[in-house]
Structure 1
Amino acid sequence: MKIKATVFALLASTAAAQAQQACEIYTVQPGDSLSAIAREAYGSISFQSVWDANRSVIGANPNTISVGMQLRLPCADGSLPGASASVVQPATPVTSVSSDGPVTIRLVTGSDYPPFTDEGMEGGGIYTQLVRAAMDTMEPQYETQIIFVNDWGSHLETLLPAMAFDGAFPWLRPNCEDPASLTENSQFRCDNFLHTDPFYEIVTGIVTRRDDPLATSDDAADFAGKVMCSPDGYSDVAPTSMGLGRDVMEYVSPVNPDDCFTALVAGEVDGISLVTTQSEDIAQRLGLADQIAINPNMTVSNVLNVFVSKNNPNGPEIVEALNTGLANIRESGVWFQTVRTGFSAYYTNQ
């Protein structure tokens, strides 16, 4: 039976028996959580990079690490310890491959979704850079064209079904395995499209004071009557899905996300609902990283995928090529480096 490390979190010190350092392979100890490992190795409150570097080991839930897991802690340059930089080619090529040249995969995206996709950002945004980097590893068998069409509604409704493009990104993949939870729009996305593996997952967490019992709570009832800070204009869908909606907590919404952090350390609010990467950046910039924590039991993620129409006869092979390229850049460390650099530049300029 696997023993979940998080089970011991309330009984043992967060300091692990084995010191962890960046650019090493670390064995999970009793009492560990990804956020505690990240803090020890990087001085960071965000576990996103550790999770992404070890997705094949940890799986889709970052809260379920197990004692004895071997985790690769990313190096400063974005590489991974023990990683092979070799490129893995797909086992089954697209059936239309011929001696005339490589297969061209045409993908469509749009602007106004920073920092993920936007024509005005370097490389078209973080997600665009990830897709390009993944497909670059598949050359010369494939060439990729990425076109910006800013009518987002046309991507899935018109352009992919008409075969004007082979794929569209970045789109949220619903939980197709749970039909009862699907809306009409979600059902449409499940019925009509193939989905790649997630190129990025938006992880929203609850930030608390580091010495607050709420930092390790796994029960929404513990937050009842507390005050949550959610910046003005930010969605409260994520905390609501964790059981931390407005029926449980009082919400305040300052215009500047920085104000949530100063209010938190001043004791004026009890938690902050924010994407974990943004939380890390703000905390570091304000010099508050040692005073706050991201509750490892209160996170929710939404996956961003490339969609391919099921009408496309080469759809399964295109998905395979994209997934293989994604695996390549995760293995080589390019994924981590691209995300880290992109988010740092984006939030620095806000």
Structure 2
Amino acid sequence: MIERRKTRQIFIGNVAVGGDAPVIIQSMTNTDTADVEATVAQIHRLQEVGCELIRVAVPDLEAARALTEIRAQIDLPLIADIHFDARLAVAAMEHGAQAIRINPGNLGGREKLALVVAAAKQHRVPIRVGVNSGSIEKDLLQEHGYPSPEHPHALIESALRNVALLEEQGFHELKISIKSSDTLTTIAAYRQLAQVSDYPLHIGVTEAGGLIAGTVKSSVALGILLYEGIGDTLRVSLTRDPVEEIKVGYELLRSLRIRERGPELISCPTCGRTKIDLFALAEQVEARLQTMESPLKVAVMGCVVNGPGEAREADIGIAGGHGVGIIFKKGKIFKKVAEEQLLPVFLAELEQLEQENKRSS
């Protein structure tokens, strides 16, 4: 049983973060924020698969001004990502950002930071203090060296220093992240930070890579941290469509039995007995499952010989053979179907099962 680390609780819009709130999954758009139509469309796609907080880049005033129109068209709490420019942080909050991500130390000094804090207090906007290995102050690098698994101290000290800048101005609605592109450094840094701070933590591996490398690195680091009760929000950073980040995030939480959203897909790796295009079949079933909410267990198996038995715990499953396939429920054959009708019939049965679950819940 995982025992969550107890943290302070903040609210980003209507979403609770920390305390007794569930671990929240978020992502970041990769559109031009000033392109309102494209940004809103991507946010809607992310929300469909379960994204709960969304962050957008604010590189200029045009992007900051676009936040008003974006927020009017979405339901997710909107976070503005700011680098170096205090004016953009203030403008983002004035135009509807419900949280901001900054590195307080690179905004141009205490006076400019004071303007940001004043705006955050006025608009009741929490701040995420975000420190990456590549953004650590030079004096901390000289003192501690570049962050490593054995010595992640520069990351931690940078975060605490920047948190102190905000606390000195009476601001405590904070969340912290300290990311590295190295898996072991990320784990070591968050472990140590969790021992000295009770602010909620956003966890992730920065610049993790593409779908395979990024998924593996993020799953290892975040899985270990979450198993130890560390982490209040997370992002699986992938060089990929951000929708994939949400899918991986939920599968990660599901694997640790922390949270479940929608059906779980069980599928076999294929072998010489497989006589159908199982890869395409599994992908099409998975695409449908992404839009479902019921916690079903769904199996896609390669052969009718072993499929139902190996996936007997599945609520519903499908297996292919020589020109014919079967649909099974709880390990028992429910229906035999011609191969060309297997997928549409299965999806119809899946939809019916989803509706039955909704009516009984």
TM-score range, shorter chain: under 0.3
1 or 2, which has the higher helix percentage?
2
- Report the structure number with the largest CA radius of gyration: 2
Q: TM-score, normalised by structure 2?
A: 0.25
